[in-house]
Structure 1
Amino acid sequence: MTAVQEAPAAAPRRRTRPLGWVLAAVGIPTFMVTLDNLVVSTALPVIRTDLGASLTDLQWFVNAYTLPFAAFLLTAAALGDRIGRRRMFVAGLIVFTLASAAAALATESWQLTAARAVQGLGGAAVAPLALTLLAEAVPDRLRTAAVGIWGGISGLGVAVGPVVGGAVVEGLDWHWIFWLNVPIGVLAVVLALTVLDESRGGARRLDPLGLVLSAAGMLLVIWGVVDGPERGWTSARVLTMLIAGGAMLAAFLAWQARNPAPMLPLRLFRSRAFSLVNAVTLTFSAGAFGSVFLLAQFFQVVQGLSPLDAGLRTLPWTAAPMIVAPLAGLFGDRIGQRALIFTGQLFLAAGILWIGLATGPDVTYGSLVFAFALAGIGMGLTFAPISTVALASVKDTDRGVASGVNNTIREAGVAAGVAVLASIFSSYGGYSTHQSFVDGLRPAVIVGALIVAAGAVVALWLPRRETSQLPAAQAEAVHSTS
């Protein structure tokens, strides 16, 4: 890329907004997108009865959202860099809100599936750009703390999702899962337009070929990974999707290396911090969320609890990030992001391993609650520092694409973790008896713990001092040499 193409336009004068308003403008949409996916997962039994949905329909109520969400994160971030991040963010909010209304009005399975797919497209614009707009809107001295509070808001969505979903399953009308998004979405649009400033990345030209190759490649790969446990990893369908998707992603990277105005500048990966923090993101999401996928079913399948009771019992894990993530943001610069990430991954791996070793058909909740809390503290220590390092290890004009890459890798890790651990579960056990479920759960969760532990080892190689703590001239040198 030439020097002219690299140079960003003169930055407009930024408005000074109270931190609380900025956090509301980016946090409410993040909370809405996070909460919606988890609520739907736990409300599936009610939706199945009301719509007469099949097991395949239930899977697509979840996958129809997950696939476009994961596939278009990078595309949305790249478009935001070129046409305006706030504009793209608001467009995503509007699409998500309208799709929520369509989902609430659904009377047949195919209608809900279609609405969920459009929700995923809208969410793909909200997730990466929320963090980028937050970083742009707050002073450097407040950025780490602000990212920590934003991580706590994300943790709130994770924490209350299973509980709200359980309450819906136990008597509320499932349509309200989606109707609630409509007034919240309208409020979020007004806040974004009022509080946030417009910003763009360094590149100005669109990369149509890159957009198509990245989105199609990610869609096929994640679809293949999601289908793998059910259809078989060696089935023609799964292999075709994985091979075709991998070929498209390889072509995308080759094109980015040649394109003078790439949507994903490969120079970002010259930063050791950026490359390693994304590797940790992959192992963290694969091991943690793959384990959660199975553990969330344990209380209902093996111990016969209601969805609401099961959701309440997971709160020591799911609620801890809501408390710990803001603290990690407040003290991250003082303690060091590397230390927080390593400690978080160590706690998370230990908590998951404890659960995997202790779980049995007759295990008491008291035997697991401290392991759940340990895992939750580990997740809370990880959320904010990972985002902080990902943004701090690139130049300001690259924050949008950096956030898109980090979010894409996280979603790919979730899909891969669920698929791999579900395959291990199926190889050693199943749903036929309580003992069979535990026989499959234990090795799968132990593997999840080992995946997270591998991320802890990778975290040790992160730089001791983050770029955001360096003077501007020195930071630029780190970008080009680290």
Structure 2
Amino acid sequence: MVPTGRDQLSTAQRWLLTLSCLAVVLVTASMAALYTALPEIAADTGASQVELTWIVDGYTLALACLVLPGGAIGDRYGRRVVLITGLLIFSVASAAPLFLDSPTWLIVARVVTGIGAALVMPSTLSLLTAGFPEERRGTAVGLWAGVAGVGAILGILGSGVLIENFSWASIFAGMAVAGATLSVAACTLPESVDPSRSAMDPLGAITSALAIGAIVVAAIEVPVRGWLDPLVIGATAIGLTVATAFVIIERRVAHPLIDVRLFAHRGFGSGTAIVTVQFLVTFGLFMLIVQYFQLILGYRPLISALALAPMGLPMVLISVIAPRLAERVGLRIPACAGLLAIGAGMLMIAQIDSHTSYVDLLGPLLLMSAGIGLCTAPATAAIVDGTPVAKHGVAAAVNDAAREVGAAIGIAIAGSVLAAGYGERIAPALPNLPEQAREPVGDSLAAALEVVERAGPPAQQLGDFAKSAFIHGMQESATVLGLLTLGAAALIAVWAPGKCRTTETTETVASRA
């Protein structure tokens, strides 16, 4: 909806909205951009499966750990200068693999890129909220949330186009050029800063980074090691322990990194939960569906990316109008409706079989896309509205941390359930195979299909059996994600504020605590 009359956006506001959306798309696209390039990276660099996992997840880990301190730094020292600094770090680190392409250097480069992204992402939202009047803020935040949600699809699509025509290094070159271009453009934005310039909270920054980092490490390692592995258990225990220490510290310091009492605000707390669940399910879906397109339907990386592209349109369009709907009826109705749509879509995907076509999947994918647009933008707006304007950098960081942690956990759940279901179904075939083929066939469908390709037509029956095992695992994984989302919808129906509670202020919550 384009405003008219006295509500017409100024040229400066349009430019701010454009740059903020482009920057957040770059950050979220980079989370998924390497999915289609991993086979080529493995072939060219000799990276192991564990190293490939960390080439992808090193970025997410650094971003999740540092996004809260990144938001606080922006509030304290200036959101524009932090945005520019983050984009420059992002650009330089993205260019590093063009010259240093060993697996170790790729992991280091991705971690540093994530550090830059942790400065960029909260700055984009806090600049936006500070630069728009209250009556236009909901629409701006809705558009920002919509393009942030579609960024992963654009990352898969863009990398698919590049891989189709160039090598995997072109993905890093593209990210470097995009980051450098946006850093120059961001110099034209006005500065925005917290007028109080509160002192930093080093203990809060350290404990928040350690807590999020440990939980994300556990989530990353679960698909490979299993839930009962000592590393997974230890990382989870450390994460929960340090998170408790973080809460205690934030309750006692004079200038906390984040006022934990904000989570008692129903809009802020439930909004954070909604964003976490949405990214959890979205990235779990991408992890499943991209493999289904490539391994079952036989799509090339570019075609797989194009198959996801239709999800972007309803997601963005509904995200723009959803905050206005939430202003009228409260957060509860659109959030519950969106989560119900996402959960229903996942349960429909759980019904796939070997005869399911892309047309059969398009309906559930569009339903999920509409649900994401309906619930995520109002949730982001609720998080922002639950904090004072001066602290919108930290509010943006909470929103972003919820996204990254949700994405990591979603990939872990989807991957571990898929692996367990596949392993259970493929197990009866393993004793009849040559010893050297048992491990790859038991590991994954992709490895099994490579064995089948080398063995030729006599092994075709094994390939069909492995595909059916994969579909079984995918059905179980989609079912778990769908039921989890429906359970979250039931919780949000009780927790999220309706219209009568949306006007509750942060000061009111603080006075109760």
Same fold (TM over 0.5): yes
* CA offset digits 1:339-375 (Å, max 9, x no partner): 2222211111111111112x11221222221111111
CA RMSD of aligned residues (A): 2.4
Aligned twin of 1:24: 18
Instruction: From 125, 131, 134, give the equivalent of 1:140.
Output: 134
Aligned twin of 2:383: 390
**Distance in 2 separating the partners of 1:165 and 1:287:** 22
| Per-residue deviation, 1:215 | 1.0
Instruction: From 80, 90, 110, give the equivalent of 2:84.
Output: 90
- Segments of 5+ residues of structure 2 without an aligned counterpart are 1-8, 424-444, 449-465
* CA offset digits 1:186-220 (Å, max 9, x no partner): 33223323223221275611111221111122112
Counting only pairs closer than 5 Å after superposition, residues 372-451 of structure 1 correspond to structure 2 as 372-430=365-423, 431=445, 432=448, 433-451=466-484
Aligned twin of 2:454: none
Which secondary structure does the structure 2 equivalent of 1:314 belong to? helix
Aligned twin of 2:496: 462
| Per-residue deviation, 1:72 | 0.9
Which secondary structure does the structure 2 equivalent of 1:228 belong to? helix
Amino acid at match of 2:485: V
Distance 1:421 1:399, change over 3 A: same
Which secondary structure does the structure 1 equivalent of 2:187 belong to? helix
Instruction: From 282, 287, 295, give the equivalent of 1:288.
Output: 282
**Distance in 1 separating the partners of 2:94 and 2:501:** 40
**Distance in 2 separating the partners of 1:59 and 1:319:** 30
Distance 1:466 1:134, change over 3 A: farther
2:113 is the alignment partner of 1:79: no
2:316 is the alignment partner of 1:322: yes
Which stretch of the first structure deviates more once superposed, 137-146 or 407-416?
A: 407-416
- Segments of 5+ residues of structure 1 without an aligned counterpart are 1-14
Instruction: From 202, 214, 217, give the equivalent of 1:220.
Output: 214
Aligned twin of 1:41: 35
| Per-residue deviation, 1:467 | 7.8
Counting only pairs closer than 5 Å after superposition, residues 105-124 of structure 1 correspond to structure 2 as 105-124=99-118
Which stretch of the first structure deviates more once superposed, 128-137 or 165-174?
A: 165-174
Distance 1:93 1:52, change over 3 A: same
Aligned twin of 1:308: 302
The answer as to whether partners of 2:96 and 2:109 remain within 8 angstroms in 1 is: yes
Distance 1:104 1:372, change over 3 A: same
| Per-residue deviation, 1:479 | 6.5
Amino acid at match of 1:410: R
**Distance in 1 separating the partners of 2:510 and 2:236:** 33
**Distance in 2 separating the partners of 1:126 and 1:332:** 27
Aligned twin of 1:12: none
**Distance in 1 separating the partners of 2:44 and 2:307:** 27
Amino acid at match of 1:395: P
The answer as to whether partners of 1:155 and 1:319 remain within 8 angstroms in 2 is: no
Identity of matched residues, %: 30
| Per-residue deviation, 1:426 | 2.0
Aligned twin of 2:153: 159
* CA offset digits 1:157-203 (Å, max 9, x no partner): 23322222222333322222122233332332233232232212756
Amino acid at match of 1:464: G
2:251 is the alignment partner of 1:257: yes
Which stretch of the first structure deviates more once superposed, 54-63 or 136-145?
A: 54-63
Aligned twin of 1:370: 363
The answer as to whether partners of 1:270 and 1:480 remain within 8 angstroms in 2 is: no
2:226 is the alignment partner of 1:232: yes
The answer as to whether partners of 2:326 and 2:378 remain within 8 angstroms in 1 is: yes
Which stretch of the first structure deviates more once superposed, 239-248 or 93-102?
A: 239-248
The answer as to whether partners of 2:68 and 2:401 remain within 8 angstroms in 1 is: yes
Distance 1:248 1:475, change over 3 A: closer
**Distance in 2 separating the partners of 1:21 and 1:105:** 34
Distance 1:283 1:475, change over 3 A: closer
Which secondary structure does the structure 1 equivalent of 2:354 belong to? coil
2:163 is the alignment partner of 1:205: no
Aligned twin of 2:345: 351
* CA offset digits 1:265-284 (Å, max 9, x no partner): 12212212111121222222
**Distance in 2 separating the partners of 1:372 and 1:34:** 19
Distance 1:300 1:155, change over 3 A: same
Which stretch of the first structure deviates more once superposed, 213-222 or 369-378?
A: 213-222
Amino acid at match of 2:59: Y
**Distance in 1 separating the partners of 2:98 and 2:334:** 41
**Distance in 2 separating the partners of 1:164 and 1:466:** 44
| Per-residue deviation, 1:328 | 2.5
- Number of aligned positions between the proteins: 464
**Distance in 2 separating the partners of 1:154 and 1:282:** 14
Aligned twin of 1:270: 264
TM-score w.r.t. the length of structure 1 is 0.90
**Distance in 1 separating the partners of 2:19 and 2:297:** 41
Which stretch of the first structure deviates more once superposed, 96-105 or 157-166?
A: 157-166
Distance 1:292 1:246, change over 3 A: same
Distance 1:83 1:65, change over 3 A: same
**Distance in 2 separating the partners of 1:180 and 1:415:** 24
**Distance in 1 separating the partners of 2:186 and 2:61:** 26
Which stretch of the first structure deviates more once superposed, 84-93 or 324-333?
A: 324-333
**Distance in 1 separating the partners of 2:229 and 2:508:** 49
**Distance in 2 separating the partners of 1:169 and 1:222:** 29
